[in-house]
Amino acid sequence: MLDVRAVAVDPGPIARALERRGFPAARETVARIVAIDADRRSALMSLQTAQERRNAIAKDIGRVAAAGDEGRGEALKQEASLLKDEIRVLEEDARKAGEALREVLAAVPNLPHADVPDGTDETFNVELRRHGGPAEPAFAALEHFDLGERLGGMDFERAGAIAGSRFTVLRGPLARLSRALSQFMLDLHVNEHGYEEVQPPLLVRDDAVFGTGQLPKFAEDLFRTEDGRWLIPTAEVPLTNLVRERILEAGELPLRLTALTPCFRSEAGAAGRDNRGMLRQHQFDKVELVSVVTPEEAAREHERMTACAEEVLKRLGLSFRTVVLCAGDMGFSARKTYDIEVWLPGQKAWREISSCSDCGDFQARRMDARFRPAEGGQTRFVHTLNGSGVAVGRALVAVLENYQQEDGSVAVPEVLRLYMGGAEVIRRA
């Protein structure tokens, strides 16, 4: 959520930043925020004046009564009665203005960082670095779903019969390969990268999903239970909300958390995209990384988090490139995002496997998450960051396509063999 004071003081740059993101009616929305905030402030000032007068009258009534001036006392009581009604109206005006302001602000995305490139979509994203090249095998590479089905370990037909489209049943060595990837990633992030492993709830309340920015705008992308809870679209939601409505001590920061969880997404806007295979599923596993830091640490932490995700792919021996997203391609809560795209020889394309975002204080304002500076003074909002470290299903896809062999078998990356009971190759049973 944006800082309404910053909007009120200098609305022009805020409107221009929202225009960079392609936010519709940016200037009109900013003007509305300024107007509603002015009404709210006016109501609060009038309310404060009325309350101060009410308190003064209460003292005067006591003095007048002691002096025996009944006429003056009666006049003060009448004024106090009128003020009571006025205060009730002003409180309601202030409440309504506050709710209206919160409603408008809740739908406004984060502002892009100054060094984020301009652009409207992924074609304007800028490649920063590349690890390895687009590997092309000497034979015709298959896509992962063909490989998985031929190996007998990937069953889309049975999954469809059980749950419908965009689900997969993994069996045998491929199920174990998926588990091996998850365990490898967790071990790497916990043992070498200093993240604390967490097992969070998979069902959360409205406030949690609002806090990280999925509500209210993206409700259609989520699954909701009949009792009003939400299935998490990413572990970012429960992990980040661990600091909700808390004041942390400076010594507790940086806070680095990781979790392996299923993620659930309706893929409401994905009709016709990646219908086959595991790239776009309603349910998938992901190892998530979340950092909570001071504002001064945020930029360095963003680079560090991205490097942690890149290290997963380096150790798996996969080719990838890292791009910075343009202003128009970023997620709602992000002010700067790096996407890591892995090479898939079966598709002959780079596909996103991790997205690491610096959200600034945007989520912290929605969650009221603060810290107490070591040097003292007023509390400040923390800065939050999140990233995939990485998506397990997409890592499985990448391993299958990059390690496929001409006879249809798949070599097991060396770093995973310990988790695979020493297996070096996956063949059809």
Indicate the burial class of 286 (C-beta count within 10 angstroms; 0-12, 13-18, 19 or more): buried
Residues whose CB falls within 8 Å of the CB of residue 221, separated by 6 or more in sequence, listed in order? 214, 233, 265, 266, 267, 268, 269
pLDDT at 57: 83
**Residue 262 belongs to what H/E stretch?**
strand 255-264
Question: What's the pTM value of the predicted model, to 2 decimals?
Answer: 0.92
Residues 281-306 have a mean pLDDT of 97
Query: Residue 402 pLDDT more than 90?
Result: yes
pLDDT at 174: 97
Banded model confidence at residue 56, pLDDT cuts 50, 70, 90: confident
Q: Which residues pair with 354 in a beta bridge?
A: 340
Cα–Cα distance for residue pair 243/376, rounded to 1 Å: 20
pLDDT at 420: 98
pLDDT at 272: 60
Q: Which residues pair with 411 in a beta bridge?
A: 425
Banded model confidence at residue 271, pLDDT cuts 50, 70, 90: low
Task: Report the share of the chain in percent with pLDDT over 90.
Answer: 85
Spatial CA neighbour of 388 closest among 273, 308, 317? 308
CATH architecture designation of domain 4-106: Orthogonal Bundle (1.10)
pLDDT at 59: 77
**Class at the top of the CATH hierarchy for domain 122-426:** alpha beta
53 vs 297, higher pLDDT: 297
pLDDT at 269: 63
The pairing of strands 320-324 and 126-131 is antiparallel
Banded model confidence at residue 267, pLDDT cuts 50, 70, 90: confident
Residues 374-387 have a mean pLDDT of 95
Positions marked active-site: 265, 280, 352, 355, 394
Q: Return the HEC string of 334-383.
A: CCEEEEEEEEECCCCEEEEEEEEEECCCHHHHHHCCEEECCCCCCCEECE
Spatial CA neighbour of 97 closest among 138, 145, 45? 45
pLDDT at 54: 81
- Would you mind telling me the total number of residues written for the chain in this entry? 429
Residues 101-128 have a mean pLDDT of 96
pLDDT at 117: 97
Delimit the domains of the chain by residue range: 4-106, 122-426
Residues 293-307 have a mean pLDDT of 98
Banded model confidence at residue 419, pLDDT cuts 50, 70, 90: very high
Q: Tens digit of pLDDT for each residue in 36-49?
A: 999 999 999 999 99
Residues 105-117 have a mean pLDDT of 97
Banded model confidence at residue 217, pLDDT cuts 50, 70, 90: confident
Residues 167-180 have a mean pLDDT of 97
Range of weakest confidence among 75-84, 300-309, 316-325, 363-372: 75-84
Banded model confidence at residue 61, pLDDT cuts 50, 70, 90: confident
Query: Residue 401 pLDDT more than 70?
Result: yes
pLDDT at 66: 62
